[in-house]
Amino acid sequence: MRRLLLPFMLMIPVKLALAQASDEYVSRRMNMVLTQITQRGVVHRATIKAMETVPRHLFVPNSYRNSAYEDRPLPIGYGQTISQPYIVAYMTELMKPSPEMIALEIGTGSGYQAAVLAEIVKHVYTIEIVPQLGSSAEKTLRKLDYSNVTTRIADGYHGWPEKGPFDIIVVTAAADHIPPPLIEQLKEGGRMIIPVGSPFLVQQLMLVEKKGGKVKTRSLIPVRFVPFTRAEE
Amino acid sequence: MNRENASIFLLSVAIIGFQLAIINLISYGQWYHFAYLAVSVAMLGFGSSGVILAVWPKLGQKYASKLISRLPVITGLLMLSSPLLIGIPGIRFDTLLVFTSKFEAAKLLLTCFILFLPFLSGAMVLGLFFIIRSNSIPILYAWNLAGSAVGGVLIIALSRYLSVANLASSFGLMAIVAGFFLAKSSKMKLAITTVGLAGCLLLFFQPKVPFKSEFKPLSKTLLIPDSRVIHTASTPQGTFEMVSSGSLRQASGLSLSYFGRVPLVDMAFLNAQDYAAFEKALADTAFYHQNLFSFPYWLFHSPEVLMLQPNSTFLTTQAGLLGSEEITIVEPLRPVADRLAAYPWFDERVSVVTAYPREYLINEQRLWHAIVFPSVGSFGGAGLSALKEEYLFTTESLVKAYHLLTPEGLLVFSTFMDNPPRNSLKLISLVAESARDLGLKPSEYMLAMRNWNTLLVLLKRNVFENTERDMAFNFALENGFDMVIPAPLEELNMMPDSTFQHLANQMICDDPSKGVVDYPFSLEPPTDNSPFFSKFLRMGKFRSYLSWMGADGVPFLELGYFIVWVSLAVCLLLALIAIAFPMLISVANRSFNAPVWFYFACLGLGFMLVEISLIQRTILVVGNPIMSSAVIISTMLCFSAVGSYLSSFIYIRRGMLLAILGIALLTSVLIPLGDRINLYIVGLPIYTRVVTLVLLIAPLALLMGMLFPLGMRYLHTFATNQIPVAWGVNGFFSVLAAPVATILAVEFGFSIAFASGAALYMACLPIVLLMQRKARGQTG
C-alpha cells in the first residue's frame, strides 16, 4: 500500500511547488497590471481584465519566465520579441475591442497579443510568416484552450480575405507601407494599429481608421519594441 | 633591405591590414560605428606592448631574440583565429543588447580582448626591435610606417577579391611570412612553413559569410521561408548581397486610396543593411501615379531627370512612365550599378553612371529639370545613422545642385516621418537654410507634402506659381496626402500634436532659430564641416530625454552616438587595465618623468586626431570614405616614415623645434584655407585630386613623423629606462584618440578636431625647451 502511495506522496510537494509558483505568477501579474498598466492611464475594463487573466509567463521562453512580468519586451528567438506589457495593453485599448468583434493579427510572434484579444473578442485570426514561431504560438494557445484563436503560417501581407472583413487589425511588424489588402479587409468603422519605424529603436504607433470609405491615419505615442536581452545559444 | 627590416615591413603591413579588415568584419556583423573601437584596440595592443616591456625589462634584454623569432608566427596565428573566435556563440556580442545587458557588455569586452591579442603580439615584436636596436630607431620606425602605408593600400586591392571573413585572416599569413624571415634554423623554417600551410587550409574552410547580428535587416529577411541570397560580391564599400523572396515589397509614399497590386522586389543589402529594392515586375500605372513621388512630374513635360543613388527601381520606373525624356542614375556601388544597367524594365532613356553622388554633383555641368536625392535618414528615426557623414545632405551640396537646375527645375528630397520629429524637420531646415544661402525666400521656393510616413520636400529654381501650389493641393487631396509647405487646411494624417507643423512653419521664416531653441533635438542644418544629418542629440537636453525615455531607453534614441561613447568607455577601461595600471606599478621603481609623459601623450592623441579628421574631411574631395582612408592613412604613414628616417640625420632638440614650428606654420595655413582648397581641387580629375592631396598633406605628415623617433632618441641618450614607458603613454592616448576625434568632429566639426590635434603638437614646444635646458644641464 505504502509503495502504491509513494509516487502520489512524492507528487504532493511538486504540486505544492507548482501551485505556489502559479500563485507567485498571479501576484506578479496583478502587480504588473497595477503598476505598469492602470497607473499609466489604461482604463478600458476588458483590456485590464484580459491583462490580469492571460498568463504571460507561458508565452516567453522558459529561461525568461522570471522576467515575464517586468516592464520590458523579451526575446522569443528568431530576432523577434514579445512586446512590453504596457504596449500590448495600450494597443488593445486603442482598438476598442468588444465581444462581438472579429480581429486579425499580422505577426503572431509569441501569441500573447492574440491571447489578450481572444479574452475580449469573438474570434482572433492570426498569421505568422516564420514557421517556427507560428507553430510554437499555436501550441501555447491550444494548451491554454483558446478555442477562439485560429493560427496560420503564411505571408500576412494578403490578410485573410475569406474570414474578413475585420473589426480590428493589428500589425505587429513595421512596414514602409500599409498593405492594400489589409485596408480592404478592414470593416467600415474598423481600426487598424501598426507600428512605424525601426523595430529596434524608436517607433511610433499608427492608428488607421476607415470611415465613410475614407482612410485616415493618426500618429500616436513613440514606443520602443527593443529586445532587452536574448536567450543564449 | 635586410631580413629584419623586411620582417618589420611585412609585420606592419599585416597589422594595419588586419586592423582595417576587422573594421570591415565588424561593420558586416554589427554596425560600422565599432570601427572606432577596432582602431582603439589596435592602439591598445601597441600601448600595452610598451608596458609589458617596461614592467619586465628582462624581456627586452635576455629573451629578446627568442621572442622576436617566435612572436610574428604567434601574431599570424592569432590573426587567423580571432575572426573565427569572435563569432562563436557565447563570445559574440550584439550591439543592440550592449546597452541593456551586463552580460552582453562583458562579451563586448571579451571580443575586444580577443582582437587585442594579435596587436599586442605584433607590437611586441616592433617594441623589442626598438629596444635591441635602439641606435637605429628612426630606420626601424621608417620601415614600420612604410609597411603600414602599404597595408592601407593593400586592403583596398584585396577587398575586391577576398570575402570579409577571409580578408582579416589573410593578413595572418603575412605575419607568418614575417616570422619566416626571422627564423634562423632550417628546423624553425620548416615549422613555420607547416604553420603557414595550415593557415592556408583554415582560410579555405572558413565560412565565407561571417556571423551577423540577428537584428540586422538581412538576418530578419532571411528568416522568411522562401528568402535566399542569389548573389554575393565583395566590394571596397563592404559585402554586397542580393536576396530574392516571394514576400518582399516596398512602396514608400503610397496613397492609402490605392487598392491595386504592390509588386514584389528583390532586395540588395550592403553589409547586411538594406540598400536598394529591385521590382520583380511592373505594377499597374495607378501604382506609380498614386504616390507622393509622382507629384514633381505633374509640373513638367518630358523632363530630364538626374537620380542620385535611388534606393529603389520604383523611382526610375515611375519617372519613365510619367514621361521623362532622359533619366541618368548615379550609383556608387558597382554591383548595384551593373544590375541597374541590365534591369529589364528600363529602356534606352535610362543610363547608369557609377560614381558617388556628391562627387558627381561637383563635377557636373549640365542642367536638369529634376534632381532627385535619395531618401535621407534611417527608417523611422536617426538611430544607427547618427554618425554617418552625409556629404550629399549639406547646405553646400544643395547650393551646388540648385545651380544645376533649368529655370523651371526642381530639387526633390524625401525622408520618413518620425515621432518626435527629427529627420523630417532637419530636412526642412536644411532645404530652407540652403535657400536662404542662395538669397531665396524659402516660403516662396519650397513646397512640401506628406502621407502617413513619408515627407516630400521640393526646392524650385524659380518661385512656385499659384497654379502650381493649387495643383499640389489638389494632388494631395486626391491621394489623401497633407500639405506641409504651405500649411494644410485640414490634416488627413494626424500627428500627435502640432509640433511638427509649427516648427516646419518656423523653419521657412526669415528667423528660423526663434521657435526651435527650446526643441530638445538639434535641427541645425548640416554643413560640409559637420555633415552629420542624423545627429540630433543636444548635450544640454539630456534631462528631457531621460524623462521621456527613461535611463535604459535613452541610448536607443540615437544609438550610433552612444556607441561611440561606449567605445570611449570601453577603450578607457581597457587602456587603464592594460596600460595605465601596470605602467604605474613599473614606474614605482623608476623616476617619474612628467614632461616625457606629456610629450608622448600629446603625440599619441595629436597624430590620431589629425589623421582621423583628415580622413573624414577628405571624403568630400575623393568622393568616398574608402578612398579617403586609403589616401590619408597611406600618405600620413608613408611621409611620417620619411620624416622618421630623416630625423636620424638631425640634432634631436633642433629637429624637435623645427618639426613643431613647421607643424604650427602648416596648420595655420591649412585650417583657414582647407575648405577653399578642397572646393578648388574637387573639380579636378581624380588622379590630380589625389596627387594634390598627397602634396598638401605630405609636409605635415613628414614633420609629425619626426617627433616620435626624435623623442625616443632623446630618451635613448638621457633616460633609457623611460623608453618603454614613453611607448606605453603614447599607446594609452592613441587608444582614446579614435573615439575622442569622432566625438569632437560630431560636436564641434572637423575643423575643430583637426585644430585640436595640431594644438597638441604645439603643446610639446615648452616640453622641448625644458628638455633642452635639462640636456644642457646634464651635458654641461
User: Residues B498-524: pLDDT tens digits?
Assistant: 888 988 998 888 777 665 667 888 888
Test the B interface: residue of A80, A84, A201 with most B CBs within 10 Å: A201
Distance CA B345, CA B288 (A): 14
Nearest to B500 by CA among B424, B398, B557, B607: B424
Which residues 5-64 of chain A have a CB within 8 Å of chain B? Answer: none
pLDDT higher than 70, residue A15: no
Test the B interface: residue of A63, A202, A203 with most B CBs within 10 Å: A202
From B183-197, B282-296, B333-347, the region with the lowest mean pLDDT: B183-197
Give the per-residue pLDDT at B456. Answer: 96
Give the per-residue pLDDT at A225. Answer: 40
Tens-place pLDDT, residues B300-352: 888 999 999 998 899 999 999 998 999 999 998 899 999 999 998 888 899 99
Q: How far is A144 from chain B (nearest CA, A)?
A: 27
Closest Cβ opposite residue A198 in set B249, B378, B553 = B378
- Under an 8 A CB cutoff, do B380 and A221 touch? no
- The verdict on B96 touching A (C-beta cutoff 8 Å) is yes
Give the per-residue pLDDT at A139. Answer: 94
Q: How far is A101 from chain B (nearest CA, A)?
A: 24
Instruction: Collect all residues of chain B within an 8 Å Cβ-Cβ radius of residue A201.
Output: 380-381, 383-384, 556-557, 559
Q: How far is B273 from chain A (nearest CA, A)?
A: 12
Distance CA B466, CA B454 (A): 24
Test the A interface: residue of B419, B494, B499 with most A CBs within 10 Å: B419
Closest Cβ opposite residue B101 in set A174, A220, A228 = A228
Instruction: Collect all residues of chain A within an 8 Å Cβ-Cβ radius of residue B262.
Output: 177, 179-180
Nearest to B338 by CA among B327, B354, B314: B354
Closest Cβ opposite residue A219 in set B224, B251, B495 = B495
pLDDT higher than 80, residue B57: no
From A73-77, B202-206, B549-553, B633-637, the region with the lowest mean pLDDT: B549-553
- The verdict on A196 touching B (C-beta cutoff 8 Å) is yes
pLDDT higher than 80, residue B202: no
Give the per-residue pLDDT at B103. Answer: 79
DSSP annotation of B373? P
Instruction: Collect all residues of chain A within an 8 Å Cβ-Cβ radius of residue B251.
Output: 176-177
Q: Is the peptide bond prior to B595 cis by the omega test (within 30 degrees of 0)? A: no
From B242-251, B458-467, B623-632, the region with the lowest mean pLDDT: B623-632
Test the A interface: residue of B274, B453, B537 with most A CBs within 10 Å: B453
Q: Exposure string (b/e) for B368-388, b if CB count within 10 Å is 16 or more?
A: bbbbbbbbbbbbbbbbbbbbb
Q: Which residues pair with B447 in a beta bridge?
A: B458
Give the per-residue pLDDT at B146. Answer: 85
- The verdict on A198 touching B (C-beta cutoff 8 Å) is yes
Tens-place pLDDT, residues A213-224: 788 888 887 655
- Under an 8 A CB cutoff, do B418 and A226 touch? no
Closest Cβ opposite residue B452 in set A197, A206, A233 = A206
- Residue B676: helix, strand or coil by DSSP? helix
Nearest to B86 by CA among B34, B9, B150: B34
pLDDT higher than 70, residue B574: yes
Tens-place pLDDT, residues B122-164: 988 988 888 888 777 778 878 888 888 888 788 878 877 888 7
Q: How far is A17 from chain B (nearest CA, A)?
A: 30
Chain B: residue nearest A211 by CA? B492
Closest Cβ opposite residue A230 in set B97, B224, B552 = B97
- Under an 8 A CB cutoff, do A180 and B260 touch? yes
Burial of B578 (0-12, 13-18, 19+ CB in 10 A): buried
Closest Cβ opposite residue B223 in set A78, A176, A217 = A78
Q: How far is A31 from chain B (nearest CA, A)?
A: 20
Among left, alpha and beta (phi > 0; psi -120 to 50; other), residue B253 is left
- The verdict on A230 touching B (C-beta cutoff 8 Å) is yes
Q: Are B143 and B156 in contact (CB under 8 A)?
A: no
Q: Exposure string (b/e) for A208-228, b if CB count within 10 Å is 16 or more?
A: bebeeeebbbbbbebbbbbbb
Distance CA B735, CA B568 (A): 9
Locus of grid cell 488593445: A92
Domains and CATH numbers, chain B: 1-213 (1.20.1250), 284-541 (3.40.50.150), 590-780 (1.20.1250.20)
Q: What is the mean pLDDT of residues A97-126?
A: 95
Distance CA B703, CA B717 (A): 21
> What's the mean pLDDT when you consider all of chain A?
82
Instruction: Collect all residues of chain A within an 8 Å Cβ-Cβ radius of residue B381.
Output: 197-198, 201-202
From A7-16, B259-268, B592-601, B667-676, the region with the lowest mean pLDDT: A7-16
Instruction: Collect all residues of chain B within an 8 Å Cβ-Cβ radius of residue A228.
Output: 97, 100-101, 552
For residue B526, the tally of other CB atoms under 10 A from its CB is 24
- The verdict on A232 touching B (C-beta cutoff 8 Å) is yes
* Better-predicted residue by pLDDT, A215 or B377: A215
Q: Strands B273-279 and B265-270: what pairing?
A: antiparallel
Give the per-residue pLDDT at A199. Answer: 46
Helix and strand numbers (H, E) in chain B are: 30, 13
The answer for residues whose C-beta is within 8 angstroms of residue A67's C-beta and 6 or more apart is A60, A74, A229
Closest Cβ opposite residue B262 in set A177, A215, A228 = A177
B190: enclosing H helix or E strand? helix B186-205
pLDDT higher than 70, residue A233: no
Distance CA B156, CA B499 (A): 46
From A175-189, B2-16, B58-72, B357-371, the region with the lowest mean pLDDT: B58-72
Q: How confident is the model at residue B119 (pLDDT cuts 50, 70, 90)?
A: very high
Q: Most confidently modeled of A198-207, B51-60, B189-198, B540-549?
A: B189-198
pLDDT higher than 90, residue B266: yes
Burial of B772 (0-12, 13-18, 19+ CB in 10 A): middle
- Under an 8 A CB cutoff, do B256 and A218 touch? no
Q: What is the mean pLDDT of residues A204-218?
A: 84
For chain A, give percent helix, strand, coil, nearest 5. Answer: 40, 25, 30
pLDDT higher than 50, residue B478: yes
Q: Are A91 and A221 in contact (CB under 8 A)?
A: no
Q: How far is B379 from chain A (nearest CA, A)?
A: 6
From A78-82, A151-155, B384-388, the region with the lowest mean pLDDT: B384-388
**The amino acid at A46:** A
Q: Are A171 and A114 in contact (CB under 8 A)?
A: no
Tens-place pLDDT, residues A45-60: 999 999 999 999 999 9
Looking at A27, A63, A67, A83, which residue is catalytic? A83
Give the per-residue pLDDT at B554. Answer: 66
Which residues 496-525 of chain B have a CB within 8 Å of chain A? Answer: 496
Q: How far is A136 from chain B (nearest CA, A)?
A: 15
Helix and strand numbers (H, E) in chain A are: 6, 9
Nearest to B493 by CA among A167, A33, A220, A54: A220
Test the B interface: residue of A70, A128, A200 with most B CBs within 10 Å: A200
Instruction: Collect all residues of chain B within an 8 Å Cβ-Cβ radius of residue A79.
Output: 214-215, 219-220, 223
Instruction: Collect all residues of chain B within an 8 Å Cβ-Cβ radius of residue A203.
Output: 380
Give the per-residue pLDDT at B381. Answer: 33
Active-site residue, A98 included:
no
> What's the mean pLDDT when you consider all of chain B?
84
- The verdict on B220 touching A (C-beta cutoff 8 Å) is yes
- Under an 8 A CB cutoff, do A201 and B556 touch? yes
Q: How far is A79 from chain B (nearest CA, A)?
A: 5
- Under an 8 A CB cutoff, do B493 and A217 touch? yes
- Under an 8 A CB cutoff, do A198 and B215 touch? no
From A71-75, A131-135, B264-268, B743-747, the region with the lowest mean pLDDT: A71-75
Domains and CATH numbers, chain A: 2-224 (3.40.50.150)
Alpha-carbon torsion angle B675, B680, B682, B684, nearest 10: -160
Which residues 63-92 of chain A have a CB within 8 Å of chain B? Answer: 78-79
pLDDT higher than 70, residue B250: yes
Q: Are B446 and B508 in contact (CB under 8 A)?
A: yes
Tens-place pLDDT, residues B224-235: 888 899 999 888
Q: Are A132 and B250 in contact (CB under 8 A)?
A: no
pLDDT higher than 50, residue B581: yes
Give the per-residue pLDDT at B778. Answer: 57
Q: Exposure string (b/e) for B251-276, b if CB count within 10 Å is 16 or more?
A: bbbbbbbbeeebbbbbbbbbbbbbbb
Closest Cβ opposite residue B256 in set A130, A131, A183 = A183
Q: How far is B209 from chain A (nearest CA, A)?
A: 19
Q: Is the peptide bond prior to B672 cis by the omega test (within 30 degrees of 0)? A: no
Give the per-residue pLDDT at A228. Answer: 28
Give the per-residue pLDDT at A195. Answer: 75
pLDDT higher than 70, residue B550: no
